Amino acid sequence: MTASETKTCQNCKNQFTIASEDFDFYARVSVPPPSFCPECRLQRRMSWRNERSLYKRKDDFSGEEIISSYSPDKPFLVYGAKHWWGDGWDPLNYGVAYDFSKPFFQQFRRLLECVPLLGLSNFNSVNSEHCNFVDNNKNCYLIFASGYNENVYYSNRTQSSKDSMDLLVANKNELCHECVNCFECYKLLYSSNCKNCTDSRFLYNCRNCSDCFGCANLVSKNYYIFNKPYSKEGYLKKLVELGLGSRTELQLAHDAFYQDVYLQAIHRYANIIGSRDVTGDNVNNSKNCHLCFDILRNVEDCKFLQGSLEVRDNYDGSGQYKHELSYENVDNDEGNRNIGTLTVYNSSNVRYSFNCHGSSYLFGCTGLRSKHYCILNKQYTKEKYEKLLPEIIEHMNSLPYTDKKGCVYKFGEFFPSELSPWAYNETIAQEYFTLTKAQVVQEGLTWKEPEGRNYKITKSAADVPDVIQDVPETITQEIIGCAHEGKCNEQCITAFRIMPQELQFYKNLNIPIPTLCPNCRHYQRLKRRNPLKLWHRECLCSGFKSKNGAYKNTAQHFHGSDTCPNEFETPYTPDGKEIIYCEQCYQAEVV
C-alpha cells in the first residue's frame, strides 16, 4: 500500500494530503493523483455549472426567443429544448479529428463553440419555463436543481414540495417559506434543519413539533415560544402580541431568536444520521465516506462528494446518482467509470464530455445521444477508439494545457475554469467561493457585468408597506427596488415584481412581502448553511455546562464533571459563536 503523501496545490499553494487509500482509488480508475487540493477541485467543478443566471436570447435553430443559461453575447450556438432534442440536427456532423499539435482542452473548447448547446436543462415540466436543471415540475418559477414540485417559487435543490417559496435544500414540504434544510414540513417559516414540523416559525433543528416559535433542539413539542412552554391560549395570545405580519416586528423576533436561542443552544458537531465511518455534513444512511456533504442516502466508499445519493466508489463528484468508480464529475445519473464529465446521463466509460446521454466510450464529446466510441464528436470503430485513447492520454501529459496563472492540466485534471462557457459570477462557484470582480480578474477568469435593465423602479424598498394587511393589490403592478440597490456581491438584480399568486401566499400566511430581490434572498439562505469544509475541533462541553457557560447541561454525560475529551471534524468554523458538542454529548441533551 502506498504511503500518504503531502503535496502543494498548484492553484492556492496550500498543502494537502493524499491518503494511502486515495492512491488505491486513483489506481483503480487509472488516473494520476490530483495536483489541486480538494477545495480548489470543488471550486473548479462549480465554475462549470450555471444554475441560476438566465437570459433571453434567440434559438439558433428556429430564431424563436427562448430562455437560456447562455447570454446572447456568448460565442455559442444555442438551441431550445424542443429543437436540441429533436432530429433536425446531428452532433456528429461537427466531429473533428484529434489534433496532436494542440493541447486537448484547447480543442475541446473549440468544439464547444461549434456544437449547438442546450439552452436549459428542463425536463417534463409544465408552465415552468424559467427553471434550470429541473424535471417534472408544474407551475414553478425560478427554481433550480429541483424536481417534482408544484407551485414552488424562488427555490433551489427542492424536491416534491408544494405551494412554497424561498426554499433551499428541501423535500416534501407544503406552504413553507424561507426554510433551509427542512423536510416533510407544513406551514413552517424562517427555519433551518427541521423535519416533520408544522405551523411554526423560527425553528432550528427541531423534529415533530407543531405550533412553536423561536425554538431550537425540540423534539415532539407544541406551544413553545423561545424554548418555553405555553398553554394553547397563552401561545396564541403571545403570537398576536408579536405582530408577525409586520416586517419590523419580524426582524426583532429574528434578532431575539438568533441571540437568545440559536447562539445559546448546543449544535451537533455535524449532521450525520444513520451512518458510520463518515466525515462531512448533512450525510444520511451512508458508510465509509469522507469530506462528503449533502448526501441524501446510500453512499459508500466515497470521498469529496457533494449533493449525491446511491453512489459507490466515487471521488470528487457533485450531483451524482447511481454511479460507481467515477472521478471528477458534475451532474451524472446512472453509469460508471466516468471521468471529468458534466451532465452525462445513463452513460459509462465517458471522459471529458459535456451533456451526453445514453452513450458509452466517449472522449471529449458534447451533445451526443446514444453514441459509442467517439472522440471530439467524431465516430470511430471500437478498435480505432481503443488504439487512439492511450495515445491521446499520453499527448495530454506530454503537451498539457497551461492556464493564465501557470497551472498545468494533464490527464486526470478537470476542465480549467478559464475555459468554462460561463463567467465565474454566473456559476455556483460564486455562491460557495464568493469573489469580487477584482479577484476574479486576478485569477485569470471572466466576470459578467449586469445586463442592461429596461425598467424604471416605481417603488423603493423603504416605501413597501411594513404590515402585510396594508399592502394593496396594486403592488403587483409595481417594480420594487431591491434594498441592496446592487451594492452587494450577491448577483443583485436591483429590482423585482410581486406576482399575484405570490401576494396571495404572503397574505394567507400573514407575512410581509420581501424587500430583497430573489438573488439576494438566495444568498441570505446560503449564509444559513455551513460551508463545504471541515475543521478539527474539540467538544465544547466542560462537564455540567458549555465552556462559555451559556448552556447548562440537562443530563449526566459520559465524562462526568470533566471536560469532554472528544475531538472531531466539523463544518463549524473555529471563530464561530456556536456551541459545538460531540455526538455523545449532543445525544445526551437532545433525545
pLDDT band at 1 (very low <50, low <70, confident <90, very high): low
Work out the number of other CB atoms within 10 angstroms of the CB of residue 370: 11
Average model confidence (pLDDT) for the chain? 97
Tell me what the mean pLDDT of segment 394-414 comes to: 98
Q: Output helix, strand, coil percentages for the chain, rounded to the nearest 5.
A: 20, 35, 45
pLDDT, tens digit, 9 for 90 and up, residues 434-492: 999 999 999 999 999 988 778 899 999 999 999 999 999 999 999 999 999 999 999 99
Task: Please provide the DSSP assignment of 172-209 as one string.
Answer: S-BS-EEEEEEES-EEEEEEEEEES-EEEEEEES-BS-
Q: At 364, which amino acid appears?
A: G
Assess contact for 461 and 481: CB atoms under 8 A. yes
Assess contact for 137 and 147: CB atoms under 8 A. yes
Q: Is the pLDDT of residue 584 over 90?
A: yes
Instruction: Look up residue 286 and give its three cell numbers.
Output: 451512508
Assess contact for 316 and 41: CB atoms under 8 A. yes
What 3-state DSSP class applies to 289?
Answer: strand
Work out the number of other CB atoms within 10 angstroms of the CB of residue 354: 25
What 3-state DSSP class applies to 248?
Answer: helix
pLDDT band at 556 (very low <50, low <70, confident <90, very high): very high
- The pLDDT of residue 220 is 98
pLDDT, tens digit, 9 for 90 and up, residues 280-330: 999 999 999 999 999 999 999 999 999 999 999 999 999 999 999 999 999
Of 496, 519, 152, give the one whose Cα is nearest residue 143.
Answer: 152
- The pLDDT of residue 84 is 98
Lowest-confidence range among 40-54, 390-404, 407-421, 441-455? 441-455
Assess contact for 213 and 239: CB atoms under 8 A. yes
CA distance 95 to 365: 9
Report which DSSP code applies to 416: P
pTM of the model: 0.96
